[in-house]
Amino acid sequence: MSIEMISIMNNTPIGNLIIESRDNYITRLIFADDAPLPESRGGNSVTDQCKMELEEYFKGERTQFSVGIKPQGTDFRQRVWAQLAEIPYGETISYGELARRLGIPKAARAVGGANHHNPIPIIIPCHRVLGADGKLVGYGGGLWRKERLIALEMKNKKEHNFK
């Protein structure tokens, strides 16, 4: 039987984060906002690695994550989340473009729904998807977080010449 681990990451540039893992994989990353934080159930090597990689990301030292992830979702959502991981650091695309890349060009709304249900934001970079007109739309963690994450990546990409 697997044991779920919960670790808290306080004071990130986008607020407190709750990191959940099971069977040595990250299963959820939750924006804590003002809700009471759950009791940390100790860390493990995967939550510790996730914390380290997130810290490096926020400092502009990491553009890709290597921590193991195992998001739970339908086959369609899994396909969308896998395609999200292909969007390069510091770049954005539209929901329509994401649907086209999946081979289902008329499914922008369904893709948006799958994006909304992404259980591991930041690591699965759903923040890199914009509306058809290039505007910030829809983000489970709030548009202010989406805006900060995109700005952080664009700033670091420019300063560090990340490809």
Show which residues are catalytic.
Answer: 126
How would you label 35-53 residue by residue, b for 16+ Cβ within 10 Å and e otherwise?
A: eeeeeeeebeebbebbbeb
Q: Assign 39 to helix, strand or coil.
A: coil
Nearest to 87 by CA among 76, 102, 71: 102
Measured at the alpha carbon of residue 9, what is the angle toward residues 129 and 93, in degrees to the nearest 5? 5
Strand partners, 121: 124
Q: Cα–Cα distance between 134 and 120 in angstroms, integer?
A: 23
